[in-house]
C-alpha cells in the first residue's frame, strides 16, 4: 500500500472531525440535561420519553382548563353569596315593615332601602367574569341574563345552556349556571280563590300555612283539567248526611298534612256544637270534613276559611295556577303595595307575604346552586392534585429513562476534549512532514 500525503491528511482530518463530533454530542447532552438527544441514541428509550412528554403536554392543557373553570366557578360563588346576603337584608326589612307603629314615612324609608337592594341584586344576577362574560346568561355570555321590559318588570333573556370544559381525557365539567334555574324559575306564593255561592255572607279565606298548602297543590292541582282544580266547602247541621260530624276528621288531618294544633281548633274544642263542614272535589268525593262553628276558622290543606253564617252555606274554591317569577319582580310588587297610601292592611300583608315567600324559595334554590358549585370546586381541587402527581410521576420516569449522569458526562467531556486536542496536535505535526525537510 502506498502511503500518500492525501491519505495522511484524510485520516488526520477524519480523526479531528470524529473527536469534534463526540465533543459536541456530549456538550449537547449536558446542555439539554438528557442522555437521549436523538432517536438513534436509544430508539426504545426515545419512544418512551416521547410518550411521557405527550402525556405531560395533555396534562398541561387540562391544567389550564381547570384554572379557567375554577376562576368562573369562584366568580359565581361570590355572586351567589352576596345575593344571599341581600335577600337576608330584604327579609329583615319586610319584617320591620309589618310593625304596627310604623308611620307612612317609616314605610317609605324601608321601601327606598328595598329598591336599592333590588338594584344591587339585579347587578349580581347580571354578573360578569374577568373577561367580561355574563356568568349567569347560559351559553350566550355576551348578553345580560336579565333586562327590564317595557312594563318595568325584569325579564329573563338568557338561555338554559351550560358551558363545559375538558378537565381529563374522559371527563367534562360545567363551568356556568343558568340564571333561569337560579333566579327565574322560582315558585311564587301559591294561592286560591274562594267565594260564597249565594247570599250576603261574610267570608275570609287565605293561606295560613304555605308549606301545607304547597303539599295540597302538589297533591290536587291539575295543570291540564281546570275542573279538577275546583272544590266545594259545604257547612251543614250535624249528621245531615246520616253520619256523625267526626266521621272523617282523623283521616282528613293525616291526608292533608294539618298539624295537630291546627286540627284541634276545628275538633276537640268545639265538638258537639251545631254544625259541621265537608269539602268535596269536582267528582263529589269528600276530601276533608270536621266541625263547624260560625265565626271560627275552618282549617285544611294549609288554608283557612272563616264564615259568619249559620250552617247551610257553600263556598266555591278554585286553585290558582302556580307560577314562577324572579324575586326582583316580587319585591318590586311589594314595594308598590307598601308605597300605596290607599292600600289596605290585608293588601300590604299579602304583598309582604308574597315577597317573603319568593325570597325564601330563591334562597333555597341559590343554596342548592352554591352547593353544586362547591362540589365542582372540590372536584377541580382533587383533579389538580391528581394532575400534579401525574406530572411528577412522568418527570421521574423520564429521568430514569433518559436522564443524564452529570458526573459521567463531565468525565466523558474531559476525555473528548483531550482526544480532540491530541488529534489537532497530531495533524499539525503531520502537516509539517516533507522529504524536502530531509534534503
pLDDT of residue 19: 59
Is the pLDDT score of 234 beyond 70?
Answer: yes
Q: Which residue has the higher pLDDT, 84 or 268?
A: 84
Average the pLDDT over each of 13-17, 66-70, 118-122, 187-191 and give the range with the smallest value: 13-17
How far, in Å, CA of 292 to CA of 272, rounded? 10
pLDDT of residue 273: 52
Is the pLDDT score of 221 beyond 60?
Answer: yes
pLDDT of residue 392: 73
Is the pLDDT score of 145 beyond 60?
Answer: yes
When pLDDT is averaged across residues 308-320 and rounded to a whole number, the result is 91
Is the pLDDT score of 48 beyond 80?
Answer: no
b/e 374-409 (16+ beta carbons within 10 angstroms → b): eebbeebeebbeebeebeeebeebbeebbbbeeeeb
Q: What percent of the chain has pLDDT over 70?
A: 69
How far, in Å, CA of 429 to CA of 380, rounded? 70
pLDDT of residue 13: 61
Provide the mean pLDDT of the chain.
80
In which band, very low, low, confident or very high, does the pLDDT at 169 lie, cut at 50, 70 and 90?
confident
CATH for 57-187+329-388 is: 1.20.1330.10
Highest mean pLDDT among 25-29, 214-218, 259-263 belongs to 214-218
pLDDT of residue 282: 93
Query: Alpha carbon of 331 to those of 90, 122, 291, 354, 360: distances in Å?
Result: 8, 12, 39, 8, 12
How far, in Å, CA of 245 to CA of 232, rounded? 17
Q: What is the pTM of this model?
A: 0.69
Is the pLDDT score of 385 beyond 50?
Answer: yes
pLDDT of residue 102: 87
Is the pLDDT score of 3 beyond 60?
Answer: no
When pLDDT is averaged across residues 271-292 and rounded to a whole number, the result is 85
pLDDT of residue 218: 87
Specify whether the CB–CB gap between 195 and 315 falls below 8 A. yes
Domain ranges of the chain: 57-187+329-388, 192-322
Is the pLDDT score of 249 beyond 50?
Answer: no
Is the pLDDT score of 89 beyond 70?
Answer: yes
Average the pLDDT over each of 150-154, 266-270, 380-384 and give the range with the smallest value: 266-270
Is the pLDDT score of 285 beyond 90?
Answer: yes
Q: Which residue has the higher pLDDT, 127 or 435?
A: 127
Is the pLDDT score of 65 beyond 60?
Answer: yes
Q: In a 3-state reduction of DSSP, which class is residue 292?
A: coil
Placement of cell 349556571 in the chain: 177
* Helix (H) or strand (E) run with residue 128 in it: none
When pLDDT is averaged across residues 218-232 and rounded to a whole number, the result is 92
Specify whether the CB–CB gap between 376 and 73 falls below 8 A. yes
Q: In a 3-state reduction of DSSP, which class is residue 56?
A: helix
* Helix (H) or strand (E) run with residue 101 in it: none
pLDDT of residue 208: 85
DSSP-H helix ranges across 286-404: 327-339, 345-402
Bridge partners (DSSP) listed for residue 318: 193, 230
Is the pLDDT score of 398 beyond 70?
Answer: no
Query: Alpha carbon of 257 to those of 52, 84, 183, 284, 299: distances in Å?
Result: 63, 30, 29, 21, 11
pLDDT of residue 206: 87
Average the pLDDT over each of 98-107, 233-242, 399-408, 414-423 and give the range with the smallest value: 399-408
pLDDT of residue 383: 84
pLDDT of residue 111: 95
Degrees (nearest 5) of the Cα angle 346, 356, 266?
Answer: 60
Specify whether the CB–CB gap between 88 and 95 falls below 8 A. no
In which band, very low, low, confident or very high, does the pLDDT at 49 lie, cut at 50, 70 and 90?
low
Specify whether the CB–CB gap between 155 and 328 falls below 8 A. no
Give the dihedral sign, CA 236/237/239/245.
positive
Amino acid at each position: 500500500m502506498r502511503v500518500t500525503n492525501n491519505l495522511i491528511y484524510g485520516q488526520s482530518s477524519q480523526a479531528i472531525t470524529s473527536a469534534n463530533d463526540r465533543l459536541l454530542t456530549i456538550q449537547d447532552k449536558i446542555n439539554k440535561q438528557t442522555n437521549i438527544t436523538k432517536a438513534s441514541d436509544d430508539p426504545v428509550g426515545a419512544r418512551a420519553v416521547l410518550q411521557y412528554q405527550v402525556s405531560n403536554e395533555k396534562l398541561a392543557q387540562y391544567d389550564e382548563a381547570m384554572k379557567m373553570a375554577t376562576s368562573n366557578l369562584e366568580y359565581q360563588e361570590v355572586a351567589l353569596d352576596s345575593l344571599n346576603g341581600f335577600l337576608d337584608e330584604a327579609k329583615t326589612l319586610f319584617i320591620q315593615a309589618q310593625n304596627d307603629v310604623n308611620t307612612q314615612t317609616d314605610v317609605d324609608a324601608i321601601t327606598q332601602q328595598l329598591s336599592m337592594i333590588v338594584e344591587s341584586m339585579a347587578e349580581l344576577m347580571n354578573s360578569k367574569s374577568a373577561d367580561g362574560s355574563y356568568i349567569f346568561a347560559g351559553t350566550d355570555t355576551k348578553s345580560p341574563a336579565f333586562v327590564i321590559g317595557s312594563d318595568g318588570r325584569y325579564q329573563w333573556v338568557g338561555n338554559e345552556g351550560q358551558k363545559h370544559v375538558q378537565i381529563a381525557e374522559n371527563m367534562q365539567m360545567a363551568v356556568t349556571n343558568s340564571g333561569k334555574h337560579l333566579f327565574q324559575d322560582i315558585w311564587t306564593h301559591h294561592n286560591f280563590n274562594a267565594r260564597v255561592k249565594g247570599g250576603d255572607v261574610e267570608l275570609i279565606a287565605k293561606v295560613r300555612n304555605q308549606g301545607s298548602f304547597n303539599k295540597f297543590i302538589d297533591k290536587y292541582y291539575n295543570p291540564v283539567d281546570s275542573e279538577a282544580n275546583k272544590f266545594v266547602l259545604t257547612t251543614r247541621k250535624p249528621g245531615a248526611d246520616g253520619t256523625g260530624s267526626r266521621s272523617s276528621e282523623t283521616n282528613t288531618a293525616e291526608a292533608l298534612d294539618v298539624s295537630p294544633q291546627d286540627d284541634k281548633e276545628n275538633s276537640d274544642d268545639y265538638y258537639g256544637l251545631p254544625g259541621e263542614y265537608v269539602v268535596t272535589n269536582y267528582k263529589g268525593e269528600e276530601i276533608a270534613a270536621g266541625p263547624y262553628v260560625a265565626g271560627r276558622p275552618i282549617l285544611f290543606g294549609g288554608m283557612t276559611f272563616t264564615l259568619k253564617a249559620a250552617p247551610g252555606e257553600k263556598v266555591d274554591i278554585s286553585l290558582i295556577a302556580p307560577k314562577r317569577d324572579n324575586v326582583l319582580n316580587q319585591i318590586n310588587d311589594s314595594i308598590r303595595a307598601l308605597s300605596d297610601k290607599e292600600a289596605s292592611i290585608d293588601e300590604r300583608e299579602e304583598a309582604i307575604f308574597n315577597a317573603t315567600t319568593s325570597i325564601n324559595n330563591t334562597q333555597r334554590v341559590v343554596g342548592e346552586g352554591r352547593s353544586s358549585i362547591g362540589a365542582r370546586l372540590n372536584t377541580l381541587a382533587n383533579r389538580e392534585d391528581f394532575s400534579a402527581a401525574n406530572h411528577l410521576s412522568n418527570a421521574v420516569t423520564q429521568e430514569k429513562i433518559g436522564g443524564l449522569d452529570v458526573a459521567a458526562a463531565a468525565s466523558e467531556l474531559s476525555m473528548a476534549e483531550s482526544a480532540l486536542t491530541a488529534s489537532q496536535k497530531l495533524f499539525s505535526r503531520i502537516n509539517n512532514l516533507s522529504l524536502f525537510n530531509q534534503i
